[in-house]
Structure 1
Amino acid sequence: MAHLGDRQFPLLRCRDDGLQREDSSRFDAWGIAHTLTYGLDYYYLEASSEAAHFGAGEQQGYGGFLQWQGDYENWLQVITALRYDGYQLDGETRSVPPEQASISGDRWSPRVTVGVTPFEGFQLYGTYSEGYRAPGLQDVFRGGGAHGGADSYRPNLLLQPETAKNWEAGINVKYDDVLTAGDRLRAKVNVFHTDVEDYIDVDLTVLPRTAINIGDARLRGVEAEMVYDYNWGFLNLAGALIDAKVVSGVYSGQALNNTPLDRFSATIGLRMLEDQLTVGAQYLSVGKITRTSRTNPNAVPVVNDGFDLVNVFANWTINDNLKLDFGVDNVFNTAYTDPQSAWSTTAATEQGKGRTFKLALTGRIGG
C-alpha cells in the first residue's frame, strides 16, 4: 500500500502485451495504380489491485483492416477502407461474494476519401469515416477510489462503446522552388465535423460515481499548417479553432475534457555548420479557457484568458554517432494553467511548468 500523509491509495498494477502486423501490395491495372494495405492487431492488458477493486481484471482488444488506394493518372485519388474492432473485458462485480463478469462487443467501421488535383501541387479532398472506442477496465469494473473510500465508485456492466461519424474536407499544397532554387512549401487546411454517440465519462453529479454513456458529443473546427523550408532554415505556422462540446445528457453544453483549444504557433529555425547545427524559437498562443463544474453542471462557467509561451531549442549533430539536444521551454517564466490538466476544470490554479531547461545527449555504439 502506498502512503501520502495519512491517506492510503490502492495500487493498480498492469501488464500490457500486444502485437501488430501491417503489409502493402502494389500493382497497376486498368490505368490505375493500386495499393492494398492490410493489417491485424491484438493487445492484452491484465490489471490487479491491492485494495478497493480499482478496475482489476483482463482486457483484450483485437482488430484488422483492409485499405485500397487507387491513383488515376495525376489528378484523382480514391481511398476506401474497412476496419473491424472487437474487445472483451473480464472482471468482478461488487456483489458479496464477488462474481465473475464479462462484457464484449465488436464493430465494422468504414472510411472513404476522394482527392482531386486540378493542377500540379494543389489537391482538394473530402473524407467520411467512422470510429469505435471500447470501454476500458476502469470504466467498467472500477469499484473504489482513493479519495472517496471503497464505495465511491460502482462498476457499470451496461457501459456501451463510443462510436463516431466524421466528415472532413480540405486543401493540400505542395510546391518546390517557390522563391529560391531548392526551397519547399507545404501547406494544409482542414475542416472537420465529428459526432460521437454514447460518449464515456464519469458522472460526478451523483454518489457513488459511475462511468456512464453521458450522452452525445460534437467536435468541429478548422486546422491549418504551413511549412516553408529554405535550405538554411525553415518556418512553420500552425493554428486551430476547435469547438468540442457535449450536446446531450447531464453535461449538455459543457466543453469536452482533454480536447485541444484554440491555438496558434510559429516556429523558426536556422541551420548552420553544413546543417549539423539547428537553432530556433517557437511562439505558442493558447486561446481563452472555459472552466466548468463537473459536480454542478448548472454552475456559471468561469472564462479565463489564454496564455502565450516562448520556447527556444538547439540540435547539434556532433558526428554520425553523437547528437546533442538543448532547449528552454517557457523562456519568460509565464504563469499559466495547462488546459489539459485536471485543474483546468476545477480552478484557475497556475500549475503549468515554469522556465524549464532540457538537455539530452544521444550516442550510438557500433555504427
Structure 2
Amino acid sequence: MANGARGAHALLWGVSAIALCFSGVSEATAQAREPDAAQAAPSTQDTKQKNAKRSKKRQQIVAQAPDQSALNANAQAQGSVQSLDTITVAATKMEERAVDALAPVSVVTLEQIQRWQPNRVGDLLYNVPGVWLQDRGDDPATSINIRGLQDFGRVAVVVDGARQNYQRSGHSANGAFFLDPELISNIEVVRGPTANIYGSGAIGGVVSFRTKDIDDVVRPGERWGSDWGIMGGTNDMRGMVSGFGGVRVNPNVDLFAGGSWTTQSNYKDGMGVTVENSANKTGSAIAKATVRPADGHELKLGGIFQDFDYDNGQPRRALGLPFSQPGTGGNGTSIYATNVKNYQTSLGWRYQRPEDQIFDWDAKVYWNRTESDQVKIAHTATTPAFGTACARRGLPGNAISGCIGDWRSYLIDTIGFDAHNTSRFEHGSWRHALTYGGDIFQDDVSTADFSGNSNATTPGGRRTVSGAFAQWKVGYATWFDLISAVRYDNYHLSSANTTTEGDRFSPKVTFALLPTYVVTPYVSYAEGYRAPSVTETLVDGAHVASGPGQGDTSVCADGSRGFFCFLPNPHLRPEVGKNKEIGLNVKKDDLFTAGDTLRAKFNVFRNDVSDFIDGVQFAGPPGRNLYFQYQNIAHARIEGFEAEVFYDANLWFVGVSATIQRGENVQTGIGLVTVQPRKITTTAGVRMFENQLTLAMQWTSVEANTDIPATYLAGTSYDLLNAYLTYKPHRDITVNFSVDNILDEYYRPYAVPRAADFTSTQNDVLWSSAAPGRVFKLGARFHFGGA
C-alpha cells in the first residue's frame, strides 16, 4: 500500500475512534459549566465548612487510594484498569492520577506489560505518544527518543529513582540503558521539559521505571505470595522463565526477591533475512527489604543485578541478499563477544501521614554501575592492517578497532542523591502545596582498549551535575490551578586535559481552568537545561578504517589514520529547551452506559532549543582530512500534536495514541534526523466469559522522516499489526498468547547514517536496525500465596 494511502487510512481510523469518544463531549461540555453534584461549587453560606471537608478529603486521598501495584497485579481478576487513572509522581513529584496531571504524562501498567510479553523494553514504549526507539538487533540496550530528542541525557531515564547514564560511542545511539523487562512493574513517561524539577538535563522528557515489589506478588489478605512465569516464542527461538516472591514478616517488615532468565536466537526480519548476532542471553535478580520503624516512616533497601551476553557487530552480508553492496567498504564491522553487567543499589526514606500537612518527604541515595567487557572475535578483513601492531602479531585487525583476540572495556559509575518535601496549607477557598528539594549525581567514566582506540572515542572523565528546585501549586475553589516552579542547575566536567562548568535557573509555569471538571484545559511554559556530556566534550581520535588505501585518508593529530578524525570541543555550551504547551485533559464516567469510562489527554507543543548540540562533519586542513565534532547549533525547533484517548465500555474497549510532529535546524531549514513525523496506534478489544477471556488488536502506522541531512538514509514507513489473547481460567492462572508483526513486514524505525563519503550506508546499522518479522508467543503465569 502506498505511504499516503496507508497514512490516510490510519488517520481515518484514529479520527473515527476519537470521534466515537467525543460523541459524548456535548454532555461533557454542558457539565463543564455545571459540575457533577458531588463536585458542585460551594455556596457562600457554607464555603468554610465545605473547604474544611475538601481539605480533609484531600488529606485522605493518599491514605485511602489503593496501591497501584496491587491493583495492577490483580487487574485481570478484577477487570481492566484505565492506565490514565494510575497514580503518577513523575510530573510534579506529587501523587496524582495521570489524567489529572497538568502535563503530557503516559503510564504503562503491569497488566499491559504481561499482556504484551515484551522481549525488550522498547516493546513496551513504541506505542506511547511522542516516544520512539533507536535500538539495534545485535544489542539488548534500549535508547529512548521523546519528541525527537535523545542521547546524552536529553531523556532522563531512572529506575527506582536511580539515573541510568550509560553511553558509548558507536554506530548506534549515544545514550542507552540495560533493563530486563521482566523486572518492570510500572512505567511513567513525561514528555518535554515540563518535568524539569525531576532532574537535570531532561529537555526531552523523563521515563521513570518502577521495578516489582512485594505488592506485585502478595495480594490483599495474604501474608506471603509468589508469581511464576514462563514464555516461549518463534523467530527463531526465544524463551523466558521468572519467579518473584515476598513475605510480610510482620506489619512493619516486608521482604521481596526474584529474578528471571531469558534467551533468544538470531531472529529474521520481515524479508526473511537473519539479523546476525541478534541472539542474546539475559539473567537478572532483584531483592528489596522494607522497614517501617515508626508511623508514617518507610525505609526501603533495594538491589538489582543484571547480566547480558551477546555478540555485537555485523559480518559482511553475501551478495544477493537485501542491501548487500559489492566491494569491501561498508560491508560489515568488527564483531565483539560482549558481556554487560549492571549493578544498582538504592536506599530510600519515605515519610507520609495524611494528617501531617507540613512534612511529606521522599529521599533516596543510589549507586548504579554498568560495565561492558568485549573481546574482538571477527574483523572486516582476514589480513591485518599494514604497519600496525596487529600486523606485527600476525592477527587480523587495525589500530582503531584492535586485533582479534584483544579486549576492551567500558565502565560508568553513577552515584546520586535526591530529596524533596511537600508542605500543604489552605486558607479560605485557596489551596497551596509547596514542594522543594535538590538532587546531585556524579558520572565517573573509565575506558580501556588493549590495541584499539575506543578509549579515545569514548573518553574517560568525571561529570558532576547538581540542582535544586522549588514548586508552588495553588488552587482556588474549583476554578483554577496554578503551578509555578524554578530549578537551579550546576555542572562541572573534568578530565586530564579539560575542565568546564556552568549553571542556570530554569522557570516553569502552568495554568489550568476547572481542574475538577470533565474537561480541563491548561497552558504551560517550561525551560530545561542540559550540560554537555563527557563524550561530546572530549571525544578524540580516528574513525575506523581497514588500512592504507582502504579509506583511511584522514590523518589525525595523534598520528592515527581513519575515514575521518574526531575532534574534542571543550567550548561546548549547555543546551536550553524552552517549551510552550497547550493541553486538554478529559475524564468522564458513565458516559454512554453505567460503568463505562472515557480518559483522554491532548497536547500541542513547541520546543525551541538554543545551543542544540549535534555532530557535524566538515573538511579541514590539510584539505584531504575529514573531521567530526560536536558543535552548538544556534537554534533547533520541534513542534507537534499528541493525543491519547481510551474508552472502556467493560465488554469492549478502544484507544488511540497519536503523534504528529516536525523538527528542524532553524538556521539551515533542514529537518532533524531524530524527529519522526507521524505515528498513530489504534487498539481495540473485547472481554468475554465474565472477563476470563480478553482479545485485543493493535495497529501502529508510522510515516518515515525524509526531511533529513544527505548524510543519512531515511527509515521506512510501515504498518505494525499485533494481536493479543489473555485467558484466565482461574484467579491464580493466566495464559497469554500474542502475535507480533502479523503482516510480517520489513521495517527500520529510524534513519541510518551514511559513511564519510556520503554515498554508501553504514551497513551494520542498516542490517541490525531491521526489526523482527512475525513472532508467535505463548506464556503462562501462576500465583501461589497464603495467609
TM-score, structure 2 as length reference: 0.41
Q: CA contact under 8 A between 1:55 and 1:140: conserved in structure 2?
A: no
Q: Which moved more, 1:252-261 or 1:350-359?
A: 350-359
Name the counterpart of 2:569: 156
Alignment of 1:210-229 (within 5 A): 210-229=629-648
Alignment of 1:137-152 (within 5 A): 137-144=534-541, 147=544, 152=565
Seen in structure 2, the aligned counterparts of structure 1 residues 334 and 227 have a Cα distance that, compared at 3 Å, is same
Superposed displacement of residue 288, structure 1: 3.9
Alignment of 1:272-351 (within 5 A): 272=688, 274-275=690-691, 277-290=693-706, 292-293=708-709, 295=711, 306-315=717-726, 325-339=736-750, 351=770
Q: Which has the higher strand share?
A: 1
- Distance in 1 of aligned mates of 2:699 and 2:489: 40
Name the counterpart of 1:244: 663
Name the counterpart of 2:431: 33
Q: CA contact under 8 A between 1:205 and 1:294: conserved in structure 2?
A: no
Name the counterpart of 2:612: 199
Letter in 1 for 2:606: H
- Distance in 1 of aligned mates of 2:752 and 2:778: 25
Seen in structure 2, the aligned counterparts of structure 1 residues 275 and 71 have a Cα distance that, compared at 3 Å, is farther
Superposed displacement of residue 359, structure 1: 5.5
Q: Secondary structure at the match of 2:618?
A: coil
Q: CA contact under 8 A between 1:75 and 1:118: conserved in structure 2?
A: yes
Name the counterpart of 2:419: 21
Q: CA contact under 8 A between 1:233 and 1:270: conserved in structure 2?
A: yes
Aligned mate of 2:462, from 55, 58, 61: 58
Aligned mate of 1:187, from 600, 605, 612: 600
Seen in structure 2, the aligned counterparts of structure 1 residues 188 and 146 have a Cα distance that, compared at 3 Å, is same
Superposed displacement of residue 235, structure 1: 1.2
Superposed displacement of residue 81, structure 1: 0.9
Name the counterpart of 2:678: 262
- Distance in 2 of aligned mates of 1:22 and 1:277: 43
Using CA pairs under 8 Å that are at least 6 residues apart, name the structure with larger relative contact order, 1 or 2. Answer: 2
Aligned mate of 1:253, from 666, 669, 678: 669
Seen in structure 2, the aligned counterparts of structure 1 residues 361 and 169 have a Cα distance that, compared at 3 Å, is same
Q: CA contact under 8 A between 2:575 and 2:612: conserved in structure 1?
A: yes
Confirm whether residue 353 of structure 1 aligns to residue 764 of structure 2: no
Aligned mate of 1:233, from 643, 649, 652: 652
Q: CA contact under 8 A between 2:637 and 2:666: conserved in structure 1?
A: yes
Q: Secondary structure at the match of 1:140?
A: helix
Letter in 2 for 1:2: V
Name the counterpart of 1:95: none
Number of aligned residue pairs: 351
Seen in structure 2, the aligned counterparts of structure 1 residues 306 and 108 have a Cα distance that, compared at 3 Å, is same
1:259-294, Cα deviation, whole Å (9 max, x unpaired)? 233111101133345545543111001124306345
Q: CA contact under 8 A between 2:752 and 2:762: conserved in structure 1?
A: no
Q: Which moved more, 1:333-342 or 1:167-176?
A: 333-342
- Distance in 2 of aligned mates of 1:200 and 1:318: 54
Name the counterpart of 1:128: 525
Q: Secondary structure at the match of 2:535?
A: helix
- Distance in 2 of aligned mates of 1:90 and 1:360: 49
Q: Secondary structure at the match of 1:231?
A: coil
1:180-238, Cα deviation, whole Å (9 max, x unpaired)? 11111112221111111011111123433111113310011111221101123321112
Q: Which has the higher helix share?
A: 2
Q: Secondary structure at the match of 2:566?
A: coil
Seen in structure 2, the aligned counterparts of structure 1 residues 90 and 25 have a Cα distance that, compared at 3 Å, is same
Seen in structure 2, the aligned counterparts of structure 1 residues 187 and 58 have a Cα distance that, compared at 3 Å, is same
- Distance in 2 of aligned mates of 1:322 and 1:145: 56
Name the counterpart of 2:628: 209
Name the counterpart of 2:475: 71
Seen in structure 2, the aligned counterparts of structure 1 residues 133 and 358 have a Cα distance that, compared at 3 Å, is farther
Q: Secondary structure at the match of 2:632?
A: strand
Name the counterpart of 1:169: 582
- Distance in 1 of aligned mates of 2:742 and 2:578: 41
- Distance in 1 of aligned mates of 2:781 and 2:684: 24
